[in-house]
Amino acid sequence: MKVLGIMSGTSMDGVDLALCDVKKTSDGWQSQIIQGVTVPYNESWRVRLSQLRYQNAEVYAKTDVFYGRYLGELASAFFNETGQTADLIASHGHTIFHTPKSWITAQIGDGATLNAFAKVPVVSNFRRADVGLGGQGAPLVGMGDQALFGQYDFCLNLGGFCNISASHQGKRIAFDIAPCNIVLNRLARERDLQYDEDGALAEAGVIDYTLLNALNEIEFYGMGYPKSLGREWINKNFWHIVREFDDLSVEDRMKTLVMHIAVQVRKAVESIAEKPMQDCSILVTGGGAFNASLVDHLRSEMDCNVVVPDANMVNYKEAMIFALLGAMRVHNVCNTLSSATGASQDWVAGSLDGDFSGLMKEINGN
């Protein structure tokens, strides 16, 4: 089936829409990107999303619906402008709350409203069932990494947070490593930039080892997997440390954060590697893969083969994987892995909105 995967990350750079050809074959699942586009957030949406956690219940409910409409309008515009159609939309939504210890994860973007404006069946709300089963609800990309990118020893996503998945002791595991673009972009805004293009700010700075050591001592990094991060964690455990070093230039803090991310990635890879590092390969995607300074530091820290694919895959891999997870939901097969999230069992996750009768007839061969 043709599935439009829609992804909005915590770095809030925009909405990724990736139309994918998803197939279930005798050899497993396949997915290819047909066409993708990223729609940047305007300042109004960026502020609204970043401040929503502090608003009252009525504002939250309204924004959930309005954001669903916004995604539906983006999908409709995508179809009109490209001349493409889709059998299904798989929408991750935008995460506002994520504290799985309190059984809470919330991604706005009401699926029923999205369906009403896009006129295509919708799968959304992928994370909540996993949290209900005692899991982290994240990362969910491990299933897609296993199905589509199993030739790599590790799959690393450098998004708002950086997360990794790998086959380990016969199971697919996945976990968040550290904050990434969400903190790098926050620093870039001190230079009136949306992000550090090509890592130019970081490249102009020098590492402050006092700050680096303070960040590396954060308790989360010593915890075992499964584990995940949310924006709340940054505000409580991370950003106050960076602010204590406001006397440093933006460039020096940026360079130090880049080094910090690279160090934590190395430690994570070393903790789960099952063969010598020089024999390992790691696929790197997400917006941070365009940050030359960050990628250079990753290569310096690790002996393994660091592979950055073409821009299409870097930009839309996560949207493509959620397209796959949506297709698996419609086929009623497990699309979350308890080995990756810590849930009590694998599960068929995702809420359905719209008329699925035609799609189900095709799936069932009727």
Q: What is the pLDDT of residue 343?
A: 96
Distance from C-alpha of 352 to C-alpha of 216, rounded to nearest angstrom: 42
C-alpha distances (whole Å) from 141 to each of 43, 76, 240, 272, 341 are 29, 26, 30, 17, 10
The angle that helices 43-51 and 57-82 make with each other, rounded to 10 degrees, is 140
**Nearest CA among 113, 126, 8, 132 for reference residue 70:** 113
Q: What is the pLDDT of residue 366?
A: 58
Per-residue pLDDT tens over the stretch 230-251: 988 998 999 999 999 999 999 9
SS3 311: helix
Is pLDDT at 270 greater than 90 in this prediction?
Answer: yes
DSSP code of residue 336 = B
Say if 339 falls within a structural domain: no
Q: What is the pLDDT of residue 27?
A: 87
Residue type, 143: M
Is pLDDT at 365 greater than 80 in this prediction?
Answer: no
- The structure's pTM equals 0.93
Is pLDDT at 12 greater than 90 in this prediction?
Answer: no
Say if 342 falls within a structural domain: no
Q: What is the CATH number of the domain that holds 185?
A: 3.30.420.40
One domain for residues 127 and 169: no
Q: What is the pLDDT of residue 361?
A: 87
Residue type, 121: P
The first and second tokens of residue 50, run together, are 């970043």
> Which helix or strand (DSSP H or E) is residue 235 part of?
none
DSSP codes of every residue in 22-76: EEEETTEEEEEEEEEEEEEPPHHHHHHHHHGGGS-HHHHHHHHHHHHHHHHHHHH
Count of CB atoms situated within 10 Å of the CB of 358: 10
Tokens 């309008």 correspond to what residue?
Answer: 73
C-alpha distances (whole Å) from 82 to each of 1, 77, 105 are 17, 8, 34
Domains identified in the chain, total number: 2
What average pLDDT does this structure show over 284-312?
A: 96
Q: Where are the alpha helices (DSSP H) in 222-310?
A: 231-233, 239-243, 250-272, 292-301
Per-residue pLDDT tens over the stretch 95-149: 999 999 999 999 999 999 999 999 999 999 999 999 999 999 999 999 999 999 9
SS3 4: strand
**Nearest CA among 279, 287, 112, 105 for reference residue 183:** 287
SS3 233: helix
Count of CB atoms situated within 10 Å of the CB of 278: 9
One domain for residues 42 and 103: yes
One domain for residues 84 and 147: no
Per-residue pLDDT tens over the stretch 53-86: 999 999 999 999 999 999 999 999 999 999 999 9
The partner residues of 165 in beta bridges, in order of sequence, read 155, 174
Q: How many degrees, rounded to 5, is the angle at CA 30 between CA 24 and CA 35?
A: 120
Residues spanned by the domain of 283: 143-313
One domain for residues 150 and 295: yes
One domain for residues 168 and 22: no
Say if 207 falls within a structural domain: yes
* pLDDT cut 90: percent of the chain above it: 95
One domain for residues 274 and 157: yes
DSSP codes of every residue in 132-164: HTTS-----THHHHHHH-TTSSEEEEESSEEEE
Is pLDDT at 342 greater than 90 in this prediction?
Answer: yes
What is the average pLDDT score of the chain?
96
Is pLDDT at 287 greater than 70 in this prediction?
Answer: yes
One domain for residues 49 and 128: yes
- Give me the phi and psi of 79, to 5 degrees please: -65, -40
One domain for residues 14 and 85: yes
One domain for residues 94 and 228: no
What average pLDDT does this structure show over 300-308?
A: 96
